[in-house]
Amino acid sequence: MPDNTLIKFDNVSYKIDDFSINEDISFFISPKDLISIIGPNGSGKTTLLRLISGELRPTSGGIFFKGKNIINWDPMDLACERSMLSQLNNLSFPFKVYDVIQMGRFPVKQKSYLDIDIEKKIMEEILGCFDLKELINKNYLVLSGGEKQRVQLARTFIQIWTLDSFNDKLIILDEPTSFLDIYYQLKLYKLIKKLNNKGLAFIMVLHDINHAFLYSKKVMMMENARLKYFGDVKKIINEKNIKDIFKVKLSEFINKYKYEEVL
């Protein structure tokens, strides 16, 4: 295991009562990794993300972020180093889109002095990335499902956004393409690839195996609370493993076009 490991899971289990949701999981994530998690419903994917983020504490085993046990991190310090998009992001109050996105900057504002010009530039970049410039003054509650998802993605990304280096930072995404049409799905993956090339690590739950194959460097396959396969995407996603995990006979489908050409 390299010395610059970003995340390390050491025999981690998570149980509620006597029911195992994640069981005896060990792996490590390196800086600049781009990882997808796939598996059947109920296999423990979302819980694994919540453990990685520090939202949940393991029943046994240890989780380490940059070499320090995640339970020993100051929450605000941790929030400046990693951010997470959850499956459910319900808001009951009529905040403007601009205000929802700005919520993501709260940890940074608490930890350091912010230059107004830099913050303005960051907001402009985020709005551009997610095509939200025309929506900033709209009531979040009246948005469509896809528009809300783009706002929540913007809030997640702006939390760790920087104008220089993304090295050693992490974004955790749980079903990030939910509600997005194909244009915005491809636009999101293009952004993920761009930021990954700038040093930002990603780990995300996906349900589309083709997307996991096309837009990941590594893949985790989970089944019945356990991590069954983990490694280079081209070695792990194959007919044998798909049949083992999903119980269907399925020849892998490889899309030949480059998604940059679509946008």
The predicted pLDDT at position 197 comes to 96
Residue linked to tokens 């025999």: 11
The predicted pLDDT at position 238 comes to 92
For residue 256, pLDDT over 70 is answered with no
The predicted pLDDT at position 166 comes to 95
pLDDT band at 174 (very low <50, low <70, confident <90, very high): very high
Higher pLDDT among residues 261 and 43, named by residue: 43
For residue 258, pLDDT over 90 is answered with no
The predicted pLDDT at position 1 comes to 52
For residue 253, pLDDT over 70 is answered with no
Edge-first strand order for the sheet with 34-38 is 82-85, 170-174, 201-205, 34-38, 218-223, 226-232
For residue 252, pLDDT over 80 is answered with no
Q: Which of 163-167, 227-231, 245-249 has the highest mean pLDDT?
A: 227-231
Q: Provide the CA 127 distance to its chain's centre, in angstroms.
A: 19
Closest to 173 (Cα-Cα) out of 20, 70, 32, 36: 36
The predicted pLDDT at position 112 comes to 72
The predicted pLDDT at position 64 comes to 97
The predicted pLDDT at position 181 comes to 96
Measured at the CA of 157, the angle between CA 59 and CA 52, to 5 degrees, comes to: 10
The predicted pLDDT at position 261 comes to 45
What average pLDDT does the segment 36-59 reach?
A: 96
Give the predicted TM-score (pTM) of the model: 0.93
Over residues 185-220, the pLDDT tens digits come to 999 999 999 999 999 999 999 999 999 999 999 999
* 3-state percent helix, strand, coil for the chain, nearest multiple of 5: 40, 25, 35
Contacts of residue 28, defined as CB under 8 A and 6 or more positions apart, other chains included, come to: 1, 2, 5, 6, 7, 8, 9
CA dihedral 251, 36, 211, 126 (to 10 degrees): 180
Closest to 206 (Cα-Cα) out of 224, 219, 223: 219
Over residues 124-138, the pLDDT tens digits come to 999 999 999 999 999
Total length of the chain? 263
Which helix (H) or strand (E) is 8 found in, with range? strand 7-16
For residue 69, pLDDT over 90 is answered with yes
The predicted pLDDT at position 260 comes to 47
For the chain, which domains are there?
7-261 (3.40.50.300)
Rg (CA), the chain: 18
The predicted pLDDT at position 254 comes to 47
For residue 2, pLDDT over 60 is answered with no
pLDDT band at 164 (very low <50, low <70, confident <90, very high): confident
pLDDT more than 70, % of the chain = 93
What average pLDDT does the segment 23-38 reach?
A: 97
The predicted pLDDT at position 88 comes to 82
